[in-house]
A and B are shown apart, each in its own frame.
Chain A
Amino acid sequence: MDPVPYYPVNEFGPLMKGLVIGGVGILHVFLAQFAIGGGMLLYAFERRAQRGDADARAFVDGYFRILVLVSFVLGALTGVAMWFTTIQVGARTIGLMVDEFHWLWATEWVWFSIEVCSGYAFYRFGARLDDRARRRLLGLYAFAAWMSLFWINGILSWQLTPGGWLEGGGMWAGFFNPTFWPSLLFRTAVSTTLAALAACVVINMMDLPRERKLALIRGAAKFAVPIAAMPLFALWFLSAIPEDSRSWLLGGSMPMTMFVGIAAGASALIGGYVIVGILMKKLTLNVATAALLLMLAFGATAAGEFVREGARKPFTVRGTLYSTSITPAEVEVLRKTGATTHDPYPLRDEHRYPSAQLILGAKVHRTLCDACHTLHGSNALVELVRTWTDDQLRLNISKLQRTKGFMPPFAGTADDVEAIVQLLKWEAAGTPDAWPVSNDPATLAQITRWLDEVGTSPMGGQ
């Protein structure tokens, strides 16, 4: 087996890495999905304009400028930012995704290039083109944008449900994985809904009489109708994800369940207002309400992305790579060699630790814990374990995958366990200048027994 690759690790102060990638990811997904739905909505309004609706034409030419600025710039750039941030957070994960799917990523790049060129061509020359050319450019833009989603969706959903890829079915088995279709349909519905809500904000700001604004709003609101099918897509998605992931979403992990609830509740409110209020009861929608609904949709998107990311635990690629960027086979190796024996990178703050054991503990924390925890900031390890006894700490860390089903197995030796235990106790004690070394053979022998008892298999996701 190849040696375990070590990358330099960066910390983000009190922010755990999940918050950093989550923040960039949510913004990117929101903008990118808005751009996809926006393309479809513009195409529909362009057809309406070509049937003689001057307001629809004014909307297309005005709205599009905002769409271009927001989606082309921030959507494209946050996409690059996602790449860079993923390298910061989990270099091996993005490396594996690139290795496995580089030709599909390159395919997505071609579609993205078409999207940018057709969008810019319309933005720049649309007003001077004939109707047929306008319609074709917008249709091309909308289709290319959706095709970008098509390709990226397969790669992202593979992370949670690699499907036949795990059994050697190859790249296409991984791409068309069990959550590919529900995820694609769900995201498409989200895209059209976001576009509809953003359109309602823009229409409200147009200089038109109230009735003409309402006519446009009702036209845009039809694009939010797919939200009615979202519960179906969500159930399909839930039925396709692994059983342990499903159990965490449905009560096994309360934070996850709450996020599921927030996403579902916010979507229900939006869907209810748009479908029942605007389309059925013919209610009006002012700019403030439209903006509020859009913000609610942002919240739903954020919660949904949190759920999608969280459901993968303890993996970043199910059954293949743990969130610690260590493979299941490597866990067995590190149980023998130690988690940090071959880590070439020293600590940046080695001088602050009073013993070699604490230095080892800090290195173990950096290698095995830092991907999801900080010591004192968000998801702080010191606070999570503050009330645990020494033996409780040793047992729970040794049998990590049994302590919490969404934790990976501990990938180190008994010495590594004791070193991280001592580090956590030292940090909880306020980092005193002196700290005794804990190397009682009986204690280490007990930790070894616990490690052997629990083995190296995860509790879920094999």
Chain B
Amino acid sequence: MWPLTTDAHGLWLALYLLTFCLHAVFVGYVLIGTTYALVQAVRRSEDPIAEQIRDRLPFMLGCGITAGVAPLLFLQLLYQRHFYSSNLILGPRWGAVVPALILGFYALYVAKSSEKWRKLALGVGSLCFLFVAWSWTEMHLLMQDEPAWKTMYAAGDRLYGDGGVAPRLLLWLGMMTSLFAGVAAWTAVSQKLAAPPLRRLAVFGLAGKLVAGIALAWLASRSGVVETHGWLYLFIIATVVELVGWIAMLRAPHGIGLWVVTAGGTAALVAGAVVREAPRLVILEPPRPAALEAGGFPVFALTLVFGVVVLVWIVRTIRTARPE
């Protein structure tokens, strides 16, 4: 099934896409959640969702970073020369991603523990995470623009600044808003929150999709649509299902809307990841012999199964915790 071939590339690509989706869920929650908490802190609004988010943000960032390591690994197998070259051209600007994440992480802890510094900390955190999102967007596009490498390098230019960066970033911010709303809605339901906060999250979910749709149209008008072998249609259908779910949730916050959102949103995320990857597949590098011959897959597969079992056990264990 396109683009997942039966060779090593197909396996690396499948793992890249799946782990990327997992990463996107966490970082979407972090970026939009931090901004949401900031807005509520500025408004001085008594908001149980904002409180819940502040509490979970450091953990979610930890998960986001951990989940991000796997797609980073597979990216280096698929597009090594392109990724490294772009990395080197952006240079110290790219290197600033890690200090930004460290600063952002500690800002989240400050926001969680200090009411006095909360607004400042959330503001700093939002800027840090937005910087990281913007840097990754630039990196993604620069990888595909080899003719720009020489010019940028010669000029010592660290900003790519292509016209595609803004709509692409906007598209992600929209997608992340819906992802955030979905995850936050599940935690709200698990804590038996009342209907109004859930309705607010449904509005966020719909708004995120609207922003993403506008950005997608903007992007398509700039660079056209590449062949996606039906994945684009799947993405559109899944998005429609998700929209129906959000509308259902808006009307009946404790109904089945959230389940529909989750099913549609998951399918839209996976299909969207494939659609996102489609234009980049033209620069897919032939597998290097060392990578093709590398052993260890059975060990990884067994460890992964063990890891999933252990994670399930951890979830079951913490469910036995006494109430606070």
How many chain A residues have a CB neighbour from B under 8 Å?
62
Given A80, A109, A124, which contacts B59 in the complex, CB threshold below 8 Å? A124
Q: Mark B36-77, 1 if CB is under 8 A from A, else 0.
A: 000000000000000000000001001101111110111011
- With contacts A116-B63, A121-B317, A346-B153 taken as known, whether A101 is within 8 angstroms of B69 at the C-beta atoms is no
A110 touches B300 (CB 8 A): yes
Complex CA–CA separation, A140 to B291 (angstroms): 31
Which stretch, B89-97, B252-260, B263-271, touches the partner chain A?
B89-97
Q: Mark A62-82, 1 if CB is under 8 A from B, else 0.
A: 000000010011101111110
Q: Mark A337-360, 1 if CB is under 8 A from B, else 0.
A: 000000011111000000000000
A120 touches B59 (CB 8 A): yes
Which stretch, A125-133, A283-291, A367-375, A432-440, touches the partner chain B?
A125-133
Q: Is A450 an interface residue when CB atoms closer than 8 A count as contact?
A: no
B88 touches A124 (CB 8 A): no
A80 touches B98 (CB 8 A): yes
Tell me the B66-118 residues at the A interface (CB within 8 Å). Answer: 66-70, 72-74, 76-77, 80-81, 84-85, 87-89, 91-92, 94-95, 97-98, 101-102, 105-106, 109
B76 touches A10 (CB 8 A): no
Complex CA–CA separation, A8 to B98 (angstroms): 21
Q: Is B1 an interface residue when CB atoms closer than 8 A count as contact?
A: no
A125 touches B65 (CB 8 A): no
How many chain B residues have a CB neighbour from A under 8 Å?
63
Complex CA–CA separation, A116 to B311 (angstroms): 10
Complex contacts, B192 vs chain A, CB 8 Å? none
- With contacts A103-B297, A346-B150 taken as known, whether A128 is within 8 angstroms of B102 at the C-beta atoms is no
B321 touches A99 (CB 8 A): no
B318 touches A124 (CB 8 A): yes
Given B91, B101, B304, B322, which contacts A110 in the complex, CB threshold below 8 Å? B304
A100 touches B88 (CB 8 A): no
Known: A7-B85, A104-B299, A129-B317. 5 other contacts (CB 8 A): A7-B88, A102-B73, A103-B296, A345-B153, A348-B155
A contacts, CB < 8 Å to B: 5, 7-10, 69, 72-74, 76-81, 83-85, 87-88, 91, 94-96, 98-107, 109-114, 116-118, 120-121, 124-125, 128-130, 133, 136-137, 140, 170-172, 344-348
B contacts, CB < 8 Å to A: 15, 59, 62-63, 65-70, 72-74, 76-77, 80-81, 84-85, 87-89, 91-92, 94-95, 97-98, 101-102, 105-106, 109, 149-150, 153-156, 288, 290-291, 293-297, 299-300, 303-304, 306-307, 310-311, 314, 317-318, 320-324
**Cross-chain pairs A/B with CB under 8 angstroms, 13 sampled:** A74-B102, A77-B102, A81-B95, A84-B87, A88-B91, A98-B291, A100-B290, A103-B299, A111-B307, A114-B310, A125-B317, A128-B321, A170-B293
